[in-house]
Amino acid sequence: MDNQEIIKKFIQSEIMRNKNAAVLSNSVSLIETGVIDSLSIQVLIAFLEKKFSIRITDDEVVPENFETIEAIGNLVQQCQSTQGSRC
């Protein structure tokens, strides 16, 4: 399972609580559709840091990085490529 699928499953089960999961694709705007808000972004960050052994800095917590599952996957990949360093 790739990073985007792991992220999608977490959002569906923990943030959306399996509501309206049919609207969730890797390119749909999570912010515009109301899937995530500032509180759920914090929950998502805690999950990402633990699951992928990364550290997301405050500078990386911008709407563009959490707009879509693709954007979140790219952020995770960027953090992983720094090999334990901060993003």
Domains, in order of start, for the chain: 3-81 (1.10.1200.10)
Percentage of residues in the chain having pLDDT higher than 70: 89
Which pLDDT band holds residue 12 (cuts at 50, 70, 90)? very high
CA dist 60 and 54 (Å) reads: 12
Query: Are the beta carbons of 36 and 66 closer than 8 angstroms?
Result: yes
Q: What's the token pair of residue 87?
A: 């993003």
CA dist 31 and 52 (Å) reads: 23
CA dist 49 and 52 (Å) reads: 6
Which pLDDT band holds residue 24 (cuts at 50, 70, 90)? confident
pTM across the whole model: 0.89
Give the per-residue pLDDT at 78.
94
